[in-house]
Amino acid sequence: MWGLRRRNAPGHGTLPKPAAVSWPTSRPSVPPPASAPVPAREPAAPRLPARRLRHAHEAHDAVRAADLLRRPLTLDSARTLLTALEPYRRRVHLPAGDSALHALVGQSPARLQEMTLRHASPVLVDVLLPACREHLNDRLFGPLAAAQGAPEPAEIEGLPSALDIAAAMRTLLIVLRGAGRAHTVAVLAALEEQSRTLARTVVRADRPVGRPGGVAELSHALLRLEGFRLVMEALGAGDGPLAEVASECRRVARLALRHCAATLDGFVRSRSLMTLHDSLTVIASVDSLIVLAMRMLDSLQDREEETSPFVRTADAEALDGYVEAATRLGHAVLDLLHTALPEPRFDNLLFVALARKVKWLHRFTSRLGVGHPHRPPALDTLSDFLVARSEALARRTASLLETARDHRPADAKSADDLLARADEVAHLMRALDRPAAANILTTRAAAVRGAPERVA
């Protein structure tokens, strides 16, 4: 969402697709006659025009005015405020040169505040607050319009964030004693409606298990809903609307974690190439998964869902269900790696993919909610298991390398496969913060590569 600052999740590698194969047809193709017209290539989809944000300058001045009005006005701050609002006076049919600065000198603080607001309130109520409302609508809901593109990055850079603008609107509303409330009410109503629409669209979407991009899509929807909730808080929304948006956030997060758990269980059950690719797609979106799981942890900490001593909350069940699926996946992957390590018929590409799966699983378990009071203990158990079994895999790889150095393998391909797998296990050890085991594998692999029988 424009204006809400967050880090984009880094991209991760996936399995390369096999090259396309051209199968012979039962009838040879006949070239078209010379006079036959060549079919024209379909035109590329037109690029959507960049969307212009309305009232960016007015929103910036509203934030500046709110900063001045959060503290009791002095003569200097009152002069700064009235000077900044001077260009807008003609919009409310007031003379631009009719300044009240000369009348503010020598006034008491209370009188100074009253006179300054009396002079500034027409601009604040009739120009800046409506401009902030329309600007927020463009920032928060504009990307949902299919006929518009995203704003240019240069236009976004330097603007106050959506949260700053929402907080400025609330400050102006308090200072003006409720004047202009209709503009904040309109933004809040639009936020509530858009959050319900977004959650309903995400939940009802047909999302097959293992669909590429499904995790990132759900994570993006969750972040968007969380952004809506933050803006509503900044605008001073009541507990009821905030609780409704929080419930929709948890609903999307639970759906995403259940979707991920079903995808991981698919590989544990069948262990086919297709389910391997699907589970890799899910695990590779580790940063999106952390966003989803952290939403569950925060909801448990804040007690957003009503708890019972006998019935577990839906948030806790969804999070534990994903952790259990990840644990089953970790056991299956490491068992397969131990079996495939000396097997010459096992594809090296699959070995690399499985090793990456262990890396990403460990990254998830080691980063999610460290120190959080509601972090599931099963995450620590899974992390310890991944490290212990991976170290055992490294020791077994080192032993096979030592045997290959002393006794030449039956064929060169077997030695090359072992070296490729040893390099991947060394990368895994470095990812698990085990540099000593990685150095042992690197040294023994170099000895195998430099052995006289390998050079001959």
Element (H, E) at 204: helix 181-204
Q: What is the pLDDT of residue 276?
A: 64
Percent of the chain having pLDDT more than 70? 70
Q: What is the pLDDT of residue 181?
A: 93
Render the burial of 366-400: b for 16+ CB within 10 Å, e for the rest.
bebbeeeeebbeebeebbebbbebbeebbeebbeb
Q: What is the pTM of this model?
A: 0.62
Q: What is the pLDDT of residue 413?
A: 77
Cα(133)–Cα(126) distance, integer angstroms? 11
Q: What is the pLDDT of residue 218?
A: 77
Render the burial of 303-320: b for 16+ CB within 10 Å, e for the rest.
ebeeeeeeeebebbebbb
Q: What is the pLDDT of residue 294?
A: 73
Enumerate residue ranges in the chain where pLDDT < 50.
Answer: 1-50, 144-149, 310, 453-456
Q: What is the pLDDT of residue 68?
A: 93
Q: For residue 400, which of 412, 414, 411 has the smallest C-alpha distance?
A: 414
Element (H, E) at 55: none
Q: What is the pLDDT of residue 97?
A: 60
Please list, in sequence order, all residues whose beta carbon lies within 8 angstroms of the beta carbon of residue 354, skipping any fewer than 6 positions away.
276, 333, 336, 337, 340
The pLDDT tens digits of the residues spanning 341-392 come to 888 878 888 788 888 888 888 888 887 777 777 788 888 898 999 999 999 9
Q: What is the pLDDT of residue 247?
A: 84
